Amino acid sequence: MPSTRGSFSGVVGEDGVQYSFAMEYSGPPVTFDIPKAVPIDVETIPVASVVAQVSLSDKLSLPVVQPILPLDNRSKMFSKELKLLGCEPTVSPTSVIDGHECVSKEITLGSEASVSPHSVTAFESGVTDNQDCVLSGELCRLGALEFSNGRYGSSELLEMVNVCQSRSSISHGNSHELVGGAGSSGMFEFSEGIGKSGELFGSSCELRASTDFGKENLDANISNPPDWASSESVLSLDRRSSEVSSFRSANGKNLSTSDFKRPVVTFRGVDTDSSVNEESSIFEAKNSGFQKEPYNEAKKGKGGSCYRCSKGNRFTEKEVCIVCDAKYCSNCVLRAMGSMPEGRKCVSCIGFPIDESKRGNLGKCSRLLKRLLNQLEIQQIMKAEKLCEANQLPPEYILVNGKPLSHEELVILHSCPNPPKKLKPGNYWYDKVSGFWGKEGQKPSQIISPHLSVGGPINADASNGNTQVYINGREITKVELRMLQLVGVQCAGNPHFWVNDDGSYQEEGQKNTRGYLWGKAGAKLVCALLSLPIPSKSANSCGEQVHNLDARAVPDYLGQRTLQKLLLVGHYGSGTSTIFKQAKILYKATPFSYEERENIKLKIQSNLYNYLGILLEGREHFEEETLADMRSNQSSDESSAAITSLSPLMTQGATDGNFAKTIYSIGPRLKSFSDWLLKAMALGNLDAIFPAATREYAPVIEDLWNNAAIQVTYSRRNELKMLPTVASYFLERAADILRTDYEPSDVDILYAEGVTSSNGLISMEFSFAQPEPDDSISTADQHDSLLRYQLVRVPARGLGENCKWLEMFEDVRMVIFCVALSDYDQFCIDGNGPPMNKMLLSRRFFESIITHPTFDQMDFLLILNKFDLFEEKIEDIPLSLCEWFDDFHPVTSRHRSNGNSSNINSNPTLGQVAFHYIAVKFKRLYSSLTGRKLFVSSVRGLEPTSVDSALKYAREILKWDEERINFTLSEYSIYSTEASSFSQ
Amino acid sequence: MANKEMSVAELREKHMAAAETVNSLRERLRQKRLILLDTDVAGYARAQGRSAVTFGPTDLVCCRTLQGHTGKVYSLDWTPERNRIVSASQDGRLIIWNALTSQKTHAIKLPCAWVMTCAFSPNGHSVASGGLDSVCSIFNLNSPADKDGNLPVSRMLSGHKGYVSCCQYVPEEDTHLITSSGDQTCVLWDITTGLRASVFGGEFQSGHTADVLSVSISGMNSRMFVSGSCDTTARLWDTRVASRAVHTFHGHEGDVNAVKFFPDGNRFGTGSNDGTCRLFDIRTGHQLQVYQQQHGENEASQVTSIAFSISGRLLFAGYSNGDCYVWDTLLARVVLNLGSVQNSHENRVSCLGLSADGSALCTGSWDTNLKIWAFGGHRTVI
């Protein structure tokens, strides 16, 4: 425990946290001081009389008065006494004055002879200057009084502290009695003296002294005035408050008002090695030592008037700022703290870390607030107080195996399936193999998730055991040994055990498992009896842990920090939704819930009806056409035998024009179905009636699909403009899909249209961590899994220069722009103009997105999608069909050699060459508009690996982005070109 | 085949000709209106010798700052009677505030973080929000939170084909809500069934021809509402006649970002990307007044949101540069700029609204804060 404090606080010092405290702290007290300082001088007289009375009645002051005269001797004597034997509480009142002396001795760590005179003289000078020693005596007494209140045990150390206290109060007495102008000089002198003494024994002493000093000041300042309202005290109040602030700024730490000093002393005892950081560590130790104190004070209203309205006294109820300790009365608290977005902080303190001593009070509401606000409001405040990022435990305050944690490590610790309970600042040991967790120097307190990469390696003396029995390199404590013996583990011969997280143990150097700790019937009972931890249920199922990666709750403030947003945009039909679905299937344990799958199934089925409808419509059209042709043939040359190019398909010559049967004709049953379906489609209510209809019409569909007329129509599907290319995938399995027990496969879902809503934005969170069956997760992976990505797909509609909502995405890390390669021969009607090439539309869209002010300096990844389709298509249809690509001449060898060095070994296909050509086109366009580099990747949206590698490439770019500064420009460009072709 | 192609071309030609005619008629209408519009409100008021309202720097003061959002605030709404505010922010949360204590009472995590609008129901028991997910979500504030402490969505109003840009409950009716959307339509919803009661505009070319950005329902006659759109027009609708707009108001030269009915229900104000606010009369269809600050050479910043004081004498307008002007509607003069007083917002003022009794103004900004401004001193609410 002591060592915990000492070294832990040393760490804090290194970080200079306390400096910020100082800065912010100087605010409130100053505003408070200035108005008050002047009036107090005026009011001194009336206040004085009251105080004297109070103090008298408060204490049986006889001992105090006596010692004042024989100051020097007594004090010296007394201090010696003090040092030798632990003083009883009864002594303390008398000891007050001597205390001063004594302290100096303490400070010098016992070498009274040389140093103490120094400080004593300083003090004495102060005393002699001042006329009424009585007062100083009083003051001293008060200090002592306080001490006796605040202390519970009487140990030597405590007594010494007590003495320190009284000493400092004396010095205050001096200082304010010298108010004339040199009031503070005495005090400073004094501290100087201490400083000198401190020189001899390391700065720690000096610091301690000054700390006490400051603390005492504050104490007197805030909590005492009502008690002893003598003129001096009031004066001192003013003085001190300024002094306090100077101390604060000097020490860079908020000195709490408590006079509970044990931690200081323990610190001194322990912290002999780290003398450099002591200044701050004192404060830290202290703060963590007396968490309850300030709060109680506030409750008791000891703190004097409200910081804002300066009204009220210590008895009025007040709320305390958890950062700067400012106190506000019920009238002012809402004004001073505003809407409390981070809990009970002054408006000016918002965003600053809290006073560690108040951590225990986070989320605990005071009566004052309960009176002012309703239940819901209080809930929100307390929630904010506990959960907001600024109030979280700074990671460096927690040491695991002697190493302060980094932010990531703390996140790991917090987000593991079985985190340590009630993590407080301090020093812990952690056995990574078995998951044992405990405070430094103590037996294990809990079994947390094993194999977390936090902290350093465990030390043998981590739990301060002396049994010579080791578990995973840690010497275990007696209690543990006892437990082992009780559950029947052979511990003779001081064995070294390896204990795994599942409780299996083996002796060091031996392969075979000796048994399972928790397998024994009474093991858990024994542990409970010896208050040793037992593994929690979830800890045993390692496989589950990894699985729950998605589900486990990462606190909001952590989630926000580790979330990287990727924006996926693309023109209509560029395959963004396929990529989104693919990512879902790739990275989600359950990509689609049962409900979603049901919806998808319905969607696929209704799509299929739509495709069928289009086919049937086409059939009617073809039938009419054929009949019309037939009629025209008949009229042109009356011969029924005349056969036109189309008529060979006729199965039966229709001699009269009314009843003609063509190859496209269908029977009456199918005809009626066809009519019904087409009517439903025309009315647009297919979606409304279709689920009910599936059962009824399922057999019809099968007949329909097998019908020759439909097959013939299907063979002419290229002429049906409305029928999407994916339709054939589903139509060919129509009968299967329309069964009621049909379950869409992942591939079906990928192919299906309209599964992801094309109307609105959709997003998914994922991480790249692969579920690994064995529990040996490498460190890198674990860090990786913390990095969460959010893929956000937005509809292309309305995205343009004037887009109102694109500015909502200024926080995305990267824009992934999707272009379908196979679009180069496609045309669509844009607005009222003539049909435009879809590739050119994509280009226009691309230009408007990359030049949008929101995406200034944004990284862009261009995904050239549908590479598979493109490869097929380019063999038949020249790329130059799109005017943007009219200078593509793949036959010349120039392109091949220019192409890419990575492809030189294998003869690149036409598709690859064309892809490179298009990629370069886009890259040039991009750099001409933005002057930066475009990342390009080719993707086959339907292939999982292809999408996976593209998204991992995106991750690499982001990582690279963070490290970019370290590389030279040339390296950078090499990297990017190579990477851009890496996924083909 | 060829015949058909011809007919398509023919039709297109006819359509073009018709569009041409419409445009020329529209132009004639505009000319005619200009002739009729020989004066504006300010001109008349000046002629009558009226003087502008005077505002000292302390007459309207920031008395509360509502901190708690961690993202840009996009929208806010007051409850009709009690002093509560709902605000929507890019941090993906709706927060319900008690305006008097400036404390939060609810923080609702939204299923889709990209939220654009929020509204309080007339009875104050539920809130609605909408955004880029194209769904308007209703939350019942009295329903119990789930295990993560989040309030569940009690109703999803889905059917829009574009983002939901604005929503407002029909006054006095907790079951009806009007939304505007990026799919160029406005929709009247029946919340109990979750279905669309009427769709205004859209497929038939009678409505807006671009994204609709805001709606405002008349306080006097809840069957009438106006909508403002990226097509630079505002349209007046009657909820009983969904097929066509009652009136289309031209005049703005940029997207109409905000519309708000005048308290008397016979006029409405608009705020636009062109930097102006305008006042239109719904009975005559005339534009009554333009509120435009004469800037120097630099471009005027866009109006993001507007609100009228309870009497209509003041028009509060938030601008994209962080200004927030208080206009005297009668004299068309800026009487106060809330962006230049102490404690003003540090970023775009994205939304503003007046409390039901008119005693306080709440502004929301991209600096993540909301501020409540109240009439200070002995100035009476106007």
The token pair at A287 is 């703060």
Is A685 labelled as part of a ligand binding site? no
Judge if B362 and B275 occupy the same domain.
Answer: yes
Closest-CA distance, B109 to chain A, in angstroms, reads 11
In sequence order, what DSSP letters do the residues of A258-307 get, joined into one string?
----HHHHHHHHH-SS--TTHHHHHHHHHHHH-SHHHHHHHHHTTT-S-T
Distance (Å) of CA A6 to CA A275, A404, A445: 11, 13, 21
Judge if B295 and B245 occupy the same domain.
Answer: yes
Give the C-alpha separation, A229 to A313, whole Å: 13
Distance (Å) of CA B25 to CA A65, A267, A411: 105, 90, 67
b or e along A783-808 (b: 16 or more beta carbons within 10 Å of the residue's beta carbon)?
Answer: bbbbbbbbbbbbbbbbbeeebbbbeb
Judge if B183 and B292 occupy the same domain.
Answer: yes
Contact residues on chain A for B230, CB-CB shorter than 8 A: 802, 804
Q: Please state the three-class secondary structure of A330-395 as a single string.
A: CCCHHHHHCCCECECCCHHHCCCCCCHHHHHHCCCCCHHHHHHCCHHHHHHHHHHHHHCHHHCCCH
pLDDT the model gives residue A462: 81
Closest-CA distance, A675 to chain B, in angstroms, reads 24
Q: Is B62 on the interface with A (CB under 8 A)?
A: no
Residue B171: inside a domain: yes
Domain that holds residue B20: 1-36
Judge if B166 and B213 occupy the same domain.
Answer: yes
Distance (Å) of CA A163 to CA A92, A93, A146: 8, 10, 11
pLDDT the model gives residue B175: 93
Closest-CA distance, B105 to chain A, in angstroms, reads 5
In this complex, which of A350, A560, A805 lies closest to B163 when CB atoms are compared?
A805
pLDDT of A467-484, one tens digit each?
888 888 888 888 888 888
Q: Which residues of chain A have pLDDT under 50?
A: 1-22, 36-38, 42, 48-302, 538-553, 639-659, 771-782, 892-905, 968-984
B114 and A761: CB-CB below 8 Å?
Answer: yes
Is A679 labelled as part of a ligand binding site? no
pLDDT the model gives residue A774: 42
How far from each other are the two terminal CA atoms of chain A, in whole angstroms?
59
Q: Is B135 on the interface with A (CB under 8 A)?
A: yes
Residue B382: inside a domain: no
Judge if B216 and B362 occupy the same domain.
Answer: yes
Helix axes A910-930, A838-850, angle to 10 degrees: 30
Distance (Å) of CA A46 to CA A231, A397, A547: 8, 48, 73
Distance (Å) of CA A214 to CA A194, A288, A401, A670, A686: 13, 17, 34, 97, 81
Phi, psi at A427, each rounded to 5° = -110, 125
Give the C-alpha separation, A648 to A420, whole Å: 83
Q: Is B67 on the interface with A (CB under 8 A)?
A: yes
Residue B134: inside a domain: yes
CB atoms closer than 10 angstroms to residue A477: 22
Give the C-alpha separation, B85 to B96, whole Å: 6
Q: Is B139 on the interface with A (CB under 8 A)?
A: no
pLDDT the model gives residue A274: 36
Which of A331, A332, A339 to mutate: most B Cβ within 10 Å? A339
Judge if B84 and B98 occupy the same domain.
Answer: yes
Judge if B24 and B114 occupy the same domain.
Answer: no
Contact B378, B56 (CB under 8 A): no
Residue B88: inside a domain: yes
Contact A615, A710 (CB under 8 A): yes
Q: What angle do CA B350, B352, B355 make, to 5 degrees?
A: 160
Phi, psi at A424, each rounded to 5° = -120, 165
Judge if B81 and B28 occupy the same domain.
Answer: no
Q: How many domains does chain B have?
A: 2
CB atoms closer than 10 angstroms to residue B109: 14
Which of A337, A646, A797, A805 to mutate: most B Cβ within 10 Å? A805
Task: Give the predicted TM-score (pTM) of the model.
Answer: 0.68
Least Cα distance to A542 among A290, A218, A774, A353 occurs for: A774
Residues near A857 by beta carbon (within 8 Å), at least 6 away in sequence = A932
Q: What angle do CA A360, A364, A366 make, to 5 degrees?
A: 125
Cβ-based contacts under 8 A for chains A and B: 95
Residue B196: inside a domain: yes
Residue B10: burial class (beta carbons within 10 Å; 0-12, 13-18, 19+): exposed
Residue pointed to by tokens 């009949």: A627
pLDDT the model gives residue A539: 43
* CATH number for the domain that contains residue B55: 2.130.10.10
Judge if B343 and B194 occupy the same domain.
Answer: yes
B103 and A380: CB-CB below 8 Å?
Answer: yes
pLDDT the model gives residue A906: 55
How far from each other are the two terminal CA atoms of chain B, in whole angstroms?
69
pLDDT the model gives residue A291: 35
Q: Is B98 on the interface with A (CB under 8 A)?
A: yes
Closest-CA distance, A334 to chain B, in angstroms, reads 7
Give the C-alpha separation, A686 to A610, whole Å: 8
Judge if B47 and B30 occupy the same domain.
Answer: no
Judge if B45 and B32 occupy the same domain.
Answer: no
Q: Which residues of chain B have pLDDT under 70?
A: 1-6, 82, 204-205, 295-298, 376-382
ipTM of the complex: 0.87
Q: Is A967 on the interface with B (CB under 8 A)?
A: no
Contact A303, A297 (CB under 8 A): yes
Is A577 labelled as part of a ligand binding site? yes
pLDDT the model gives residue A878: 84
pLDDT the model gives residue A415: 74
Contact residues on chain B for A383, CB-CB shorter than 8 A: 107, 149
The token pair at B152 is 């569940």
Residue B380: inside a domain: no
Least Cα distance to B200 among B181, B176, B218 occurs for: B181
Three-state secondary structure call for residue B137: strand
B162 and A384: CB-CB below 8 Å?
Answer: no
Q: Please state the three-class secondary structure of A604-662 as a single string.
A: HHHHHHHHHHHHHHHHHHHHHHHHHHHHHHHHHCCCCCCCCCCHHHCCCCCCCCCCCCC
Contact A111, A200 (CB under 8 A): yes
Helix axes A183-201, A156-177, angle to 10 degrees: 150
> At A683, which helix (H) or strand (E)?
helix A668-683
Judge if B246 and B312 occupy the same domain.
Answer: yes
Three-state secondary structure call for residue A670: helix
Contact residues on chain A for B213, CB-CB shorter than 8 A: 804
